[in-house]
Chains A and B, each alone.
Chain A
């Protein structure tokens, strides 16, 4: 899995609670991405990072924030979880801009 670890792998949380997902890489890649995968929608980009403290929004960023204080860690926070954020979340890394992505194994999040 190209040295990329997502935690936790599974989480169940209640509506209105904050949730943080972690992506950790050991490849020293500059670019990191958070996607969500839902039936009928494929993968959609939430946020991405092109360096420490440099992040930008993807197509479905509402309700999510990210932080990258170190090259190896990219955190995704759901500020107040909603049922519509029930999904599988994937982190990906790449060495160069728009190069091939290496994905983690995902975090399955259920918001009840």
Chain B
């Protein structure tokens, strides 16, 4: 079963606009990660946020994590046509004792299209 569910499934915006993608998950986690995939390529790691962190920045990326709501969001500011890709969240779930299972579970992704 899918641990992470991204929303929306597809997002179409103009260059310069901000893009926000959301991820919801079901169980306790050790960390949550966001990845990007260009067509025909492997996934590329963007950012990792730990369960005790609430916000993290990397360049034009901002990730938030709300463990009480079991949700995360990825914000890409001032989008560019080159940001067109699929974006995935992935979670490292933990057992009842808080120990990581040590393997990531991916959602189905959000397809982002940025029009020039």
Contacts and interface: CB of A to CB of B under 8 A. Distances in A.
Interface of A: 1, 31, 33, 35, 40-45, 48, 50, 58-59, 90, 92, 97-106
Contacts of A92: 42-43
B103 interface: yes
14 contacts: A1-B42, A40-B108, A42-B108, A43-B106, A58-B103, A90-B43, A92-B42, A92-B43, A98-B30, A98-B92, A98-B103, A101-B90, A103-B42, A103-B43
B49 to A, nearest CB: 11
Contacts, number: 62
A33 B1 CA distance: 18
A44 B103 CA distance: 11
B108 A103 contact: no
A40 B109 CA distance: 9
Interface residues of B, number: 26
Interface of B: 1-2, 30-31, 33, 35, 40-45, 48, 88, 90, 92, 100-109
Interface-central residue, A33, A100, A106, by most chain B CB under 10 Å = A100
Say whether chain B's binding surface is mostly helix, strand, loop, or mixed.
strand
Contacts of B103: 33, 45, 48, 58, 98
B105 A101 contact: no
A12 to B, nearest CB: 17
Given A42-B88, A42-B108, A58-B103, A98 B31 contact: yes
A103 B92 contact: no
Contacts of B90: 43, 101
Contact of A97 (B88, B102, B105, B109): B102
